[in-house]
Amino acid sequence: MNIALVTGSAGLIGSESVAFLAGKFDLVIGVDNNLRQYFFGADGNTEWNRNRIEEAFGNYKHYAADIREVSQLEPIFKEYGTDIKMIVHAAAQPSHDWAAREPFTDFGVNAVGTLNMLEMTRLHAPEAVFIFTSTNKVYGDNPNYLPLVELETRWEIDENHPYFENGIDENHSIDHTKHSIFGASKVAADIMVQEYGRYFGMKTAVFRGGCLTGPNHSGAQLHGFLAYLMKCAITGTHYTIFGYKGKQVRDNIHSHDLVNMFWHYYQNPRPGEVYNAGGGRFANCSMLEAIALCEQITGNKLSYSYSETNRIGDHIWYVSDLSKFKSHYPDWNWEYGLVETLTQIHDGISSRLGVKTV
C-alpha cells in the first residue's frame, strides 16, 4: 500500500492535505486529538472538520493520538511501517500569546512532538518524505529592524532594499532576536527537521509559513487572522487590532496552494531543505486593508477597536520570498488570490453558522 500520514489532520493545513492526498494514496491516516479546542476554546474546536473529512473520504482513517506521547504514536507506525510514503506534520500549538501561558505544553507539542514524529519515521518508515509546517516566526522580530516606510494603509519596506521586489528569503537570520515562546519552540523543531535530513539523510523539508489560511480554518482570536476577522465581520463580534496602527502587513497563502507545494516537493525531494512559504508579493495585506476587504465581501461594517500594545514577537511587515522554491519546482504557482481566498472563507463560515450576508 501507499500511505500518507497527516498530523493535525482536522486543522486547516492537515484537512487540506487529507483532501489533496486522498486521491493520490491508497490510505490517508490522520492524527489529531483536537488539542486546538484546549488552546482556544469553542472557536478552536475542530470536530466539525474531522467529521467532514471522515464523511468525504472513504480511505481516511483517524487516530486521536497525542504526538507528545511516543506510546500513542508507535503502534501506528509499527502497524503501517514502510507503507507510509509521505508524512505531513502540521500539528502544532500555533499562538504567540498562548505559548507564554503554558511553555511546557507549547514546547511539548511543537518541539517534542516533532522529534517524536521524526524518530518514529526514522525507525519505521525511513524512506518516507517528511514535510514540516514551520513558521516565519523562526526569524523572530529581525524583520522589524528592516528599513520600513509608513504608508497610508500599510507599512512597506524601503524600495531600495533587496527584499522590496520579492520579500524576505531563507537567508534572513533566525538568531539574536526575540521570537516569542512559540517562535522558539518552532525554531527547535525547524532545526531538528533539517538535522534529520542532513545527519540521517532522510527526505525532510521545512516550510516556513506566512499566514496560512483558507475556508476550513477554525479561526480564533489568538490564531487564524483572516478567518477570525471574517467571522467577526459576519457575526458582528468586536475585533481588536493590536499595535502598529493596524498597518502591519502579512502575506497570505491559501491552504491548497501550500499543500500543492508539499506535493511538488514529495515528487522530487531534496533532503534537509528549507523553504519560505506564503502569499509573497502575489497575496498580502495589512490589517486595515484586510478589514476593508471583509467589509466589502460581507456588506457589514466591522466593529473594532485599537490597542497600542502589539503582540510580543509580532511582525510589522512580512512578505515571503518564494523564489528559491519556485526555482527548484518551476511548475508550481499560486492559484488563489487574496479576494478569492477571503470569499471562500466568508462562504465557509456563513454556511457553518447558517448566516446570510450580501
| pLDDT tens per residue across span 140-194 | 999 999 999 999 999 999 999 999 999 999 999 999 999 999 999 999 999 999 9
Strands 148-150 and 249-254: unpaired
Separation between Cα atoms, residue 91 and residue 103, nearest integer Å: 17
**Res. 216 pLDDT band, cuts 50 70 90:** confident
| pLDDT for residue 224 | 75
Average predicted confidence (pLDDT) for the chain: 96
pLDDT at position 355: 79
Say what the pLDDT of residue 223 is: 77
Tens-place pLDDT, residues 296-354 = 999 999 999 999 999 877 899 999 999 999 999 999 999 999 999 999 999 999 998 88
CA 37/CA 138 separation, integer angstroms: 24
**205, 275 contact by CB (below 8 A):** yes
pLDDT at 221 over 80: no
How large is the average pLDDT for residues 222-240?
A: 90
Classify domain 3-353 by CATH number.
Answer: 3.40.50.720
In this prediction, residues 124-138 reach a mean pLDDT of 98
pLDDT(260) > 70: yes
pLDDT digits (tens, 9 = 90+) for 67-108: 999 999 999 999 999 999 999 999 999 998 899 999 999 999
User: Is residue 222 over pLDDT 80?
Assistant: no
CA distance 313 to 240: 17
Q: What are the distances in angstroms from CA 295 to CA 226, 276, 287? A: 12, 30, 12
Q: Given this model, what pLDDT does residue 357 score? A: 58
pLDDT in tens, 28-38: 999 999 999 99
Amino acid identity at 272: G
Residue 358 predicted with pLDDT over 60:
no
The pLDDT value recorded for residue 354 is: 86
Cell, residue 180: 516569542
The per-residue pLDDT for range 4-40, each reduced to its tens digit, is 999 999 999 999 999 999 999 999 999 999 999 999 9
